[in-house]
Amino acid sequence: MALTPRPHGITPEEVAARNVYLAIVATSIWGVVCTSTDADPDVFPLNTVVSMTDPESFIADAGLEGTLSLTLQAIAAFGPSTGVVVRVAEGVGATPAEITASRDVNVIAGIAKLRVAEQAVQLRPRILAAPGLDTQPVADALGDAGARLSAIAYATAEGDTPAEVKTYRDNFTQRELILIDRTFKATDAVSALIVSTFAPAVAVGVRAYLDRTVGYHKTISNVVLEGVVGIENPREWDLGSAQTEMGLINGADVTGLIWRDGYRFWGNRTCSVDPRYAFESAVRTNQLVRDTIVEGLFPYIDQPLIGSLPNDIVESINKLFRREVSAGRLVGAIAFIAPGNTKETLAAGKLKIGYRFTHAAPLEELSVANEITDEFYADFAVAA
């Protein structure tokens, strides 16, 4: 029999904190689907998720054809960022319609690849686009992928007149989808020529930049954009009046492009039919709060459902909420033990926690009232 010490006295033990720290999930990771017939196949193999932390360093391998190079340039204009790319093949067919339909199939399959990027390269994209390839079926697939990934997706709105844009917008209901009217001009880093670029690619870049530097609660609207030198077919816009083309575009819940001391997106609205998720910031906040709670509470799963465990869970969430409110990313929030927890459900290992939050809505409309009055003549004679 081996000789072992017998505890006889006090044995000190370190006890883990009863609350866990809920860290905000990574929000700035982007995912795009692109084409390029002359990209380096070793760097960008077809139908494969490729990860990167500095898109600018991949531009040389992106080729000159298709959408890949300009997309990476638009994102890189906002600095190094982490994301994934899926390069897909161009369409084939005897007519332009057949070619487009074939390409749509390829792009939608590429979007499906984005949904498994976390398993492939351990990155979950939360900002999605297929710049220059976003036909109606593709835009619809982007919105659906946004719902699956808790991501926001950007796509081009079709139509020349505001009425046509609205008709197109009415095809969509996904709160994760934002449509953008018109496109930008940019200087191609490869050819040094001014070319049309993709507004959704610019949106991806600025969204990732805002997530890194400001927070998920800021919409992409009214932020000076990097790498943009012009607007293709600009719309009439007036800061002091909604009776413009841009006013009608925004009235269709579509984001437009303006110049005001720099080029900017103008619009905050998603394609949601639920008014609670009309703003981009509402959708992003809901996604990030929900996923942060789900991911952060992982350590509590399978712990004995006794004592203060429910209160510990609630307090962990409320600590998160206090931090986010203090940082100005939430207006207010509270977690609580929800009604409906019975002895039967608790004995079955089921616990229900609830929470409420108020997101930071963008100041979309500021009214300034003016009044003509004679009151300032009251002391005129004395002053004279």
| Tokens matching residue 200 | 């959704």
Residue 33 phi, psi dihedral angles, 5° rounding: -115, 130
Least confident of 20-24, 193-197, 379-383: 379-383
Asked whether the predicted pLDDT for residue 8 surpasses 50, the reply is no
Name the pTM for this structure: 0.91
pLDDT exceeds 60 at position 384: no
Q: What residues does 376 pair with on adjacent strands?
A: none
Q: What pLDDT score does 127 carry?
A: 98
CA distances from 284 to 25, 136, 200 (A): 12, 23, 17
Question: Tokens at residue 301, please?
Answer: 């799963």
Q: CA torsion, points 129, 134, 136, 138, in degrees to nearest 10?
A: -60
Instruction: Find the mean pLDDT for residues 82-88.
Output: 98
The one-character DSSP state at 221 is B
Contact, 154 vs 228, CB < 8 A? no
Q: What amino acid is encoded at 312 in this protein? A: D
In tens, the pLDDT along 226-275 reads 999 999 999 999 999 999 999 999 999 999 999 999 999 999 999 999 99
Give, in degrees to the nearest 5, the angle at Cα 188 between 182 and 189. Answer: 145
pLDDT at 7: 62
Q: How far apart are CA 259 and CA 222, in angstroms?
A: 10
Query: What local confidence, expressed as pLDDT, does residue 21 receive?
Result: 84
pLDDT digits (tens, 9 = 90+) for 183-208: 999 999 989 999 999 999 999 999 99
In this prediction, residues 107-121 reach a mean pLDDT of 97
Average pLDDT over residues 7-31: 69
Does 224 score more than 90 pLDDT?
Answer: yes
State yes or no: pLDDT of 13 exceeds 50. Answer: no
Q: How far apart are CA 162 and CA 235, in angstroms?
A: 10
d(CA 291, CA 125) in angstroms, rounded, equals 13
With CA atoms as reference, report the closest residue to 283 among 97, 121, 154. Answer: 154
| pLDDT of 17 | 45
Predicted pLDDT at 352:
93
Q: What angle do CA 195, 199, 202 make, to 5 degrees?
A: 95
Of 267 and 18, more confident: 267
Whether the per-residue pLDDT at 83 is higher than 90: the answer is: yes
**379 — pLDDT class (breaks 50, 70, 90):** confident
pLDDT value of position 14: 43
- Assess whether pLDDT exceeds 80 at residue 10: no
At residue 136 the predicted structure's pLDDT band, cuts being 50, 70 and 90, is very high
CB 281 within 8 A of CB 214: no
Please report the pLDDT score of residue 16 as a whole number.
45
- CA 87, CA 361: separation in Å to the nearest integer? 36
pLDDT digits (tens, 9 = 90+) for 349-371: 999 999 999 999 999 998 888 89
Q: Give the count of beta carbons closer than 10 Å to the beta carbon of residue 115.
A: 17
DSSP 284-332: HHHHHHHHHHHHHTGGGTTS---TTHHHHHHHHHHHHHHHHHHTTSEEE
Q: Are 44 and 50 in contact (CB under 8 A)?
A: yes
Read off the pLDDT of residues 162-184 as tens digits, 9 standing for 90 and up: 999 999 999 999 999 999 999 99
Strand order from edge to edge, sheet including 127-129: 49-52, 83-88, 30-35, 127-129, 152-156, 177-180
Share of the chain above pLDDT 70, in %: 94
CA distance 312 to 309: 5
All structural domains of the chain, each given as residue ranges with its CATH number in brackets, are 30-281 (3.40.50), 297-359 (no CATH)
What is residue 4's predicted lDDT score, i.e. its pLDDT? Answer: 67
Contact (Cβ atoms closer than 8 angstroms) between residue 352 and residue 313: no
